[in-house]
Structure 1
Amino acid sequence: MPRSARAGAHADTPGSATGAIPVYQRTLAHLTVRARLLTAVVVLSALTVMIAGATAFALQAAETDERIDNSLSRAVAALRVVEAAEDRETGQPFASVSDVLREGIRARVPGKNEGVVTLLDGELHLRPAAETRSVRLEKDPELVAVLSEITPDEPSLPRTVGTSITQYRFIAVPVLLAGDPSAGLFVVAFDRSAEMSGLRSTFFTYSAVGLAALAVISVVAWFVVGRLLRPIRLLRDTTRRITESDLSERITVTGKDDLSNLARTVNAMLDRLERAFGSQRELLDDVGHELRTPLTIVRGHLELVDADDPDDVRATQALALDELDRMQRLVDDLMTLATADRPDFVRLAPTDVGRLTDDVHDKARGLGDRRWVVASRADVTVLLDAQRITQAWLQLVANAHRYSAPGSTVRLGSEVSGDRLLLWVRDEGPGVPAAETDRIFERFHRGQADRISHGAGLGLPIVAAIAHAHHGRVFVEHPPANVGSGAVFVLDLPAVDLVDGEPRPVTELVEYL
């Protein structure tokens, strides 16, 4: 096999390090969220039980060894007392090592899982009577062989040794006397395995209880996680039922947790999408209707025009140009609305509101036979887009002109109220019906009244878009009954730059807005 082929085969081996991670990731990716959460809960619970059990077992085992070592230390202390005492048979100090070992055996009564044995010159010497011994150390040849190799000069410290029979924890104490060349060894040992058996039994029980607890946790977690993920499932099912033409589906939400809040957020998003799609459909329908009418008019006149009649040709030409101008205005208005959400739709700059008021008044006088009056003027400087505000204000002025009688009075003004700048226009026309007050700012909306029956229905929506771009709004008010009829249209804009009559720095104003 070529080297490259061998390298490729090795890289794809399931057991290799490079192939294990992708396989694990693919396996995890195919699990549902419920299965992932359940796996995480069970694994963490199992690790907790294992770590807690292992730690507790290690602490208990250390405590058992410490108890054994304390008992061995007491055995050493008791032997030293025997060495320093007198022989009870002669009343004299011990004359031989054998006598000390005999007295040590007699004084030491082995406890549970404990055994005592002595060695003299490396050979088994004395042991307690069979009826008093719990552990017969001399019956374990492996242990005897280990004890036989201990020399008298080795320190008397607890040791652990394992044999084929059991595991021992013992201490070997050398016994030497002046005048006796023999070397004795006094050994006290515990069957450590037997001491640990009760502890192991307890932790076997602990393991069984832990496994049962894991099973219970798994079952409970399965239902709890399923309950928590219910909004996700509802979200999935709802989104499956949503189609391009039907956005009415909503998620039923009852809880107050994060997932329930997510479901509420998705419902709110669906509301916005439904409104946006509805507005889009209305826009397309209205645009199609608005463009279809002038196209039909132009087409009809062009089909009927008498090419040999110059007057008919000129009349048809004038009509076609007028209709094309109307379509151009409609397209321009749609482009204005389409760009209203862009950051560069308005370009803010310090603007003298008093001068702006006079400019709008001068331009309004050219619209027709009305009595144009500046009722108030705010001599302040604010940050706004003068061209866009002029466009919006003149649109309100044009509406007032369109729906008021010749010779009537149209008032306009600017004033500051708190931290708001109010630019308004008031006419003496028929007014706006109460039912139409909010809807007149919707695109292509036309009411039944004469004042909102002309044009394409985009003028006031453009005013609203310009006000919104300035972080403001536009609204309509009705004058009091004792003042007269008509309507008052108000541009409500922020006037945050007023500090003792002086404008703030432009950079500060931009950061504020």
Structure 2
Amino acid sequence: MVRRLRAPGFRVPGRLAGPGRGASSVAGRILGSMLLLSLLTLLVAGGTSYGILRSQASARIDDALSRTVSEFRVLSASSVDPATGAPFVRAEDLVYVAMQRTLPAANEGMMALGPADVRWVAPESVSLRPEADRQLLDGLLSEAVPERVVLRTLSTGTTTYRLAVVPVQLADDAAAMRYVVVFDLSAELGALGRTHLVFMAAGLAALALSAVLGWMLVARLLAPLREMRRTAEAISEHDLGQRLEVRGNDDLADLSTTFNHMLDRLGNALRSQRQLLDDVGHELRTPITIVQGHLELQDATDPHDVEQTRAIALDELDRMGLLVDDLVMLAKADRSDFVAPVPVELDVLIDDVLDKARGLGDRRWIVERRAHGTAELDPRRIEQAMLQLCQNAVKFSAAGSTVALGCGLHAGTVRLWVRDEGIGVLPEDRAAIFDRFARGSNGRRAEGSGLGLTIVRAIAGAHGGTAGVESRPGAGSTFFIDLPLRGFGPAPDETDHTGNEEAHEPDPDH
């Protein structure tokens, strides 16, 4: 029941205001970055949610105060005292009935103020007792009675309140009353803050657990990197046989595969380098030995012997120079600027090669097939490769025999070939003859540096193509270069040689 309370000496309150490796390891850096992002996400999400909930709590309090004021206005508009059935005469009685019909929520209280004292207070069951806060009462009673309902926030030494002050004045009653509904704002927001602290503590605990589990997971995921490091430390120029075990199908598995391929390339490069050094040492030792032997045995008093020795020495030195030049060019074959592709007319290219090849030897030179069109290639390198094949055909064919050049198109590939009627190549030698300083099965090699066909293969490879040979021993050989058909111009057209000489078709398998 609403209790009556007299407090002489209090004055009427005024108007209310409106609402207002180790740590440096990759695993440590990855995990630290992820935990930092997670912590930042937790702080942003927690701060945002707290701000939203705090705003909602303030809005909920204002809404509760507004509903209480609305209910009081409904009661005041009826102007009927339920005890007498007659209209209210005293403002004090109207406030009393309103307080009886109001059930305060948690952290909510109410009281009725007269001009200078407290007239009514909430029942004892209501926990919030605003009348017990002397600073609050002094502030309210020291202000004049407001002309309209106002909401305001008022802070005292005890707590912070959110309250609504409703002025009550009846026409026949000179005594003005104030109906005050109060919420303990600090208590409401304090409960929210405690809930938020529990949320943050749970989030930090989850973050700590994530750190432990994340460290184990990241260490497991980065195990291939540690294995890669151990493998790299164990590799030397004498032992390139170790490989990583590829697990899974993710980026680290791709990295392991790439690392293994790199080791394969390094192994091939080192083997090629050793073979090159061995072959070069052997090939250079022969002319050096020949020159040295003839110089030691020559008779300095015999002009004929001196002249003969001089001719032999110059010939061997020329061969050494050719060998060095070819090795230098092969060393450049892996560079990106080794070839400079430009649009080239294929029929013009074949004619240029034929014109230059005629001076290589007494042979019957013809073009047995040509393709009309444009392809992207390096004409200087392709001519060099074709002339090397022509020179090779001259070495292994008889004078007066036919050497035929051709150019054809098939399945997106440009094929250039040189066909001779020479001694041919044995089946077991066809793959090896393109290697450095290769010798036939008979153990002999024609004159030259021994790198001609190797250079042809390098030029073809620099264009993204291949080089090969088709041959029948004793009946001749067809050496060919297959290049990918890129940047081809007008629709290609293949025609046979139209001169008086018979056109020769290459092997259909080509």
TM-score range, shorter chain: 0.7 to 0.9
* Deviating more after overlay: 190-199 vs 40-49: 190-199
Q: CA RMSD in A?
A: 3.3
Q: Is the aligned partner of 1:499 residue 2:490? A: yes
Q: Is the aligned partner of 1:359 residue 2:350? A: no
Aligned CA distance change for structure 1 residues 150 and 258 (closer, same or farther; 3 Å): farther
Amino acid at match of 1:414: G
Q: Corresponding residue for 1:174?
A: 167
Aligned CA distance change for structure 1 residues 127 and 375 (closer, same or farther; 3 Å): closer
SS in 2 for 1:254: coil
Cα distance in 1 between the residues matched to 2:206 and 2:492:
75
Q: Could you tell me the TM-score, scaled by structure 2's length?
A: 0.80
SS in 1 for 2:453: helix
Aligned partner (choices 366, 391, 405) of residue 374 of structure 1:
366
Contact (CA 8 Å) 2:160, 2:186: kept in 1 or not? yes
Cα distance in 2 between the residues matched to 1:255 and 1:117:
74
Aligned partner (choices 380, 389, 395) of residue 396 of structure 1:
389
Q: Corresponding residue for 2:406?
A: 414
Q: Is the aligned partner of 1:489 residue 2:479? A: yes
Aligned partner (choices 422, 433, 437) of residue 430 of structure 2:
437
Cα distance in 2 between the residues matched to 1:381 and 1:116:
100
Q: Corresponding residue for 1:86?
A: 80
Aligned residues: 467
Amino acid at match of 1:492: D
SS in 1 for 2:176: strand
Aligned CA distance change for structure 1 residues 242 and 465 (closer, same or farther; 3 Å): same
Q: Corresponding residue for 2:233?
A: 240
Amino acid at match of 1:374: I
Q: Is the aligned partner of 1:226 residue 2:219? A: yes
Amino acid at match of 2:113: L
Contact (CA 8 Å) 2:109, 2:182: kept in 1 or not? yes
Aligned CA distance change for structure 1 residues 116 and 415 (closer, same or farther; 3 Å): closer
Cα distance in 1 between the residues matched to 2:144 and 2:177:
10
Q: Deviations over 1:375-410 (max 9, x none)?
A: 714274655665544443343233334334x46844
Q: Is the aligned partner of 1:107 residue 2:101? A: yes
SS in 2 for 1:476: strand
SS in 1 for 2:169: strand
Q: Deviations over 1:20-47 (max 9, x none)?
A: xxxxxxxx99722211211122122223
Contact (CA 8 Å) 1:110, 1:134: kept in 2 or not? no
Q: Corresponding residue for 1:116?
A: 110
Cα distance in 2 between the residues matched to 1:335 and 1:111:
96
SS in 1 for 2:99: helix
Alignment of 1:46-65 (within 5 A): 46-65=39-58
Q: Could you tell me the TM-score, scaled by structure 1's length?
A: 0.80
Cα distance in 2 between the residues matched to 1:344 and 1:158:
86
Q: Deviations over 1:415-468 (max 9, x none)?
A: 423454443333455533333322221222334335646543201112223333
Contact (CA 8 Å) 1:356, 1:386: kept in 2 or not? no
Alignment of 1:242-257 (within 5 A): 242-257=235-250
State the 1:344 CA deviation.
5.9
Aligned CA distance change for structure 1 residues 471 and 210 (closer, same or farther; 3 Å): closer
Cα distance in 2 between the residues matched to 1:87 and 1:293:
133
Aligned CA distance change for structure 1 residues 122 and 477 (closer, same or farther; 3 Å): farther
Q: Is the aligned partner of 1:316 residue 2:306? A: no
Cα distance in 1 between the residues matched to 2:340 and 2:186:
87
State the 1:360 CA deviation.
5.2
Q: Corresponding residue for 1:280?
A: 273
Cα distance in 2 between the residues matched to 1:88 and 1:347:
106
Q: Corresponding residue for 1:20?
A: none
Cα distance in 1 between the residues matched to 2:478 and 2:227:
49
Cα distance in 1 between the residues matched to 2:380 and 2:187:
97
Cα distance in 2 between the residues matched to 1:83 and 1:347:
98
Aligned partner (choices 197, 203, 220) of residue 196 of structure 2:
203
Cα distance in 1 between the residues matched to 2:252 and 2:367:
56
* Deviating more after overlay: 339-348 vs 260-269: 339-348
Q: Corresponding residue for 2:290?
A: 297
Which runs of no fewer than 5 residues in structure 2 stay unpaired?
1-20, 495-510
Amino acid at match of 1:202: T
Amino acid at match of 1:104: A
Which runs of no fewer than 5 residues in structure 1 stay unpaired?
1-27, 504-513
More helix by share: 1
Q: Corresponding residue for 1:11?
A: none
Contact (CA 8 Å) 1:113, 1:195: kept in 2 or not? yes
